[in-house]
């Protein structure tokens, strides 16, 4: 069988044959057929907008790999900083490289005093931490005028270090502001996750439990990248205009803020709280199925149509965390929901399974994070993924400024009607 596809324009009889590589064929075939012909593909369901060598995802088989390494192995054996290096550089670091990378990131954890005193202190007292984070990422860019030099490798590398290193600092700062607590400066003697937990929770003496430090790191690893999701696509689209990486990352974070994306774990905990007891689970699911109520948050995925491998790892991490913190009372409702939904034809026939957000919220809550911080916790590690894709985009000779076309369905030309005649 030839690995080609032939498209025939029945209006003209013209046909174009192009190769299929890895199940992808170039849209230039359509251009060749008729430059005024466009493909209608809302939400890019069938469109590969770029080539990427960063993350491999097979939704049918439930496979997720960063640079070829299975997520299960990375979650078991690696650390977030090592994974960030891997995503950005394509290979695992050797001992010297990892040491240097850790030192470099650690050196950049502090932020300019004005970021806190003048910028963050200006937010309204009940500002949502994710809204604060989104704006803080963009504001951070104003402190580094060299960030505009995106053609300069040295400058790019510097901004990457800054963004990865300062995200936990910004995140903790936004939380401490909303809780009315004094800001805790980074402690560069601590690991990346321990430093974050310390900035979050330190009041008087505080020591990070190594089991919780590890759980935080695993959660960071699981969220570090997920190929062309909504946030990463925002990063690429804004990055394609050659905006600086802070502006692009702020738009990626904005996309992540939405409840259908990174906001889902917050929605899961709210949903479980609303359900209230295991007895209410069947009635709640009936509402979901009838379309009267909400969707079952934390279920379903655009790509995973079998299981989300991150959900399996997270369930195990939840057990480790609950050993230290005690069991989250919402867990029983979640387990019941999962059990009933997975045996219900509505969910089975639509291939709806728990996604990464179904259990992550329960862990975050057990760790003490308020629900409003959940998406912030997602944004910290996803920064590595955003930046890896940004780098890849800038090096990709096929890329230009993102500019999709539209199918115009509005009215035809008509004459302006003066106000007196309307």
Q: Would you please indicate which residues are annotated as catalytic (active-site) residues?
A: 261, 301, 357
Contact region with ligand ACO (CB under 6 A), list: 68-76, 114-122, 234-242, 353-361: 353-361
Burial class (CB within 10 angstroms; exposed 0-12, middle 13-18, buried 19+) of 232: buried
Burial 255-290 (b: 16+ CB within 10 A, else e): bbbeeebbbbbbbbbebbeebeeeeebeebbeebee
**CB nearer ligand ACO, residue 116 or residue 336:** 336
**Contact predicate 64/71, CB 8 Å:** yes
| Smallest separation, CB 241 to ligand ACO (Å) | 24
Measured from the CB atom, the residue of 161 and 268 that comes closer to ligand ACO is 268
Residue 239 contacts ligand ACO per CB under 6 A:
no
Q: Where are the alpha helices (DSSP H) in 306-350?
A: 309-325, 331-342, 345-349
Tokens encoding 372: 């409003």
Q: Give the residue with the Cβ less far from ligand ACO, 115 or 272.
A: 272
Residue from 355, 365, 375, 391 binding ligand ACO (CB under 6 A) = 355
Select the residue interacting with ligand ACO from 123, 295, 371, 402 (CB under 6 A): 295
> In this chain, which of 37, 350, 368, 404 binds ligand ACO, going by CB under 6 A?
350
203 φψ region: left (φ > 0), alpha (ψ -120 to 50), beta (else):
beta
- Piece of the chain touching ligand ACO by CB under 6 A; list 16-24, 71-79, 92-100, 296-304: 296-304
Residue number, 186 or 231, with CB nearest to ligand ACO: 231
| Distance, C-alpha 61 to centroid of its chain | 21
Contact range with ligand ACO by CB under 6 A, out of 52-60, 156-164, 212-220, 299-307:
299-307
The stretch near ligand ACO (CB under 6 A) out of 68-76, 105-113, 138-146, 295-303 is 295-303
Residue 260 in contact with ligand ACO, rule: CB under 6 A:
yes
Using CB under 6 A, pick the residue from 356, 362, 367, 377 that binds ligand ACO: 356
Q: Does 102 bind ligand ACO (CB under 6 A)?
A: no
Q: What's the min distance (Å) between Cβ of 405 and ligand ACO?
A: 22
Size of site (CB under 6 A) for ligand ACO: 17
Distance CA 318, CA 362 (A): 8
Q: Three-state DSSP class for 369?
A: coil
- Asked if 363 and 318 count as a contact pair (C-beta separation under 8 A), the reply is yes
Task: Report whether 334 contacts 201 (CB < 8 A).
Answer: no
Integer Cα distance of 221 and 300 in angstroms: 21
Is residue 314 within 8 Å of 222, Cβ to Cβ?
yes
User: Restricting to residues 262-281, which ones interact with ligand ACO according to CB under 6 A?
Assistant: 264
53 lines the binding site for ligand ACO (CB under 6 A): no
Given candidates 83, 218, 296, 313, which one binds ligand ACO under the rule CB under 6 A? 296
Site for ligand ACO contains 107 (CB under 6 A): no
Q: Pull the structure tokens for residue 214.
A: 């590890």
Determine if 284 is a binding residue for ligand ACO (CB under 6 A).
no
Among 158, 261, 270, 327, binds ligand ACO (CB under 6 A): 261
Stretch 176-235 residues interacting with ligand ACO (CB under 6 A):
none
Among 168, 245, 298, 361, binds ligand ACO (CB under 6 A): 298
Say if CB 201 and CB 368 are below 8 A apart. yes
Q: Residues near 52 by Cβ (< 8 Å), separated by ≥ 6? A: 227, 228, 389, 392
Contact yes or no for 238/251 (Cβ under 8 A): yes
Q: Least Å distance between CB 149 and ligand ACO?
A: 33
For 392, the 3-state DSSP assignment is: helix
The SS3 assignment for 18 reads strand
Contact residues: ligand ACO, CB under 6 A: 260-261, 264, 288, 295-302, 350, 352, 355-357
């Amino acid at each position: 069988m030839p690995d080609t596809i032939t498209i025939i324009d029945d209006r003209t009889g013209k046909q174009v044959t192009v190769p299929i590589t890895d199940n992808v064929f170039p849209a230039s075939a359509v251009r060749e057929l008729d430059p005024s012909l466009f493909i209608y593909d809302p939400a890019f369901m069938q469109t590969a907008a770029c080539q990427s060598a960063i993350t491999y995802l097979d939704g049918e088989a439930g496979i997720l790999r960063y640079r070829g390494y299975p997520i299960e192995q990375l979650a078991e054996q690696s650390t977030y900083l090592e994974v960030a290096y891997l995503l950005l550089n394509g290979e695992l670091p050797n001992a010297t490289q990892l040491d240097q990378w850790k030192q470099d990131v650690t050196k950049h954890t502090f932020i300019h005093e004005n970021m806190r005193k003048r910028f963050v202190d200006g937010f309204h007292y009940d500002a949502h931490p994710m809204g604060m984070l989104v704006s803080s990422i963009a504001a951070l860019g104003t402190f580094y005028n060299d960030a505009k030099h995106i053609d300069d490798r040295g400058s790019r590398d510097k901004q990457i270090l800054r963004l990865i290193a300062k995200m936990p600092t910004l995140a903790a700062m936004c939380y401490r502001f909303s809780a009315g607590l004094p800001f805790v400066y980074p402690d560069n003697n601590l690991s990346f996750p321990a430093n974050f937990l310390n900035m979050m929770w330190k009041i008087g003496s505080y020591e990070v439990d190594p089991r919780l430090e590890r759980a935080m790191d695993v959660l960071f690893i699981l969220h570090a990248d997920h190929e062309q999701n909504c946030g990463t696509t925002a990063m690429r689209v804004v990055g394609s205009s050659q905006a600086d990486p802070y502006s692009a990352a702020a738009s990626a974070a904005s996309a992540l803020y939405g409840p259908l994306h990174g906001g889902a774990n917050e929605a899961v905990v709210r949903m479980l709280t609303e359900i209230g007891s295991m007895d209410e689970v069947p009635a709640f699911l009936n509402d979901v199925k009838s379309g009267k109520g909400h969707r079952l948050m934390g279920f379903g995925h655009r790509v995973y149509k079998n299981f989300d491998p991150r959900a399996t790892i997270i369930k195990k991490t939840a057990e480790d965390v609950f050993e230290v913190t005690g069991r989250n009372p919402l867990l029983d409702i979640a387990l019941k929901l999962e059990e009933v939904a997975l045996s219900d034809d509505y969910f089975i026939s639509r291939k709806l399974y728990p996604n990464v957000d179904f259990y992550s919220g329960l862990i975050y809550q057990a760790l003490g994070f308020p629900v409003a911080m959940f998406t912030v916790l997602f944004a910290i590690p996803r920064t590595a993924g955003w930046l890896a894709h940004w780098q890849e985009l800038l090096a990709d000779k096929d890329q230009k400024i993102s500019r999709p076309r539209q199918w115009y369905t509005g009215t035809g030309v008509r004459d302006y009607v003066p106000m007196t005649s309307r």
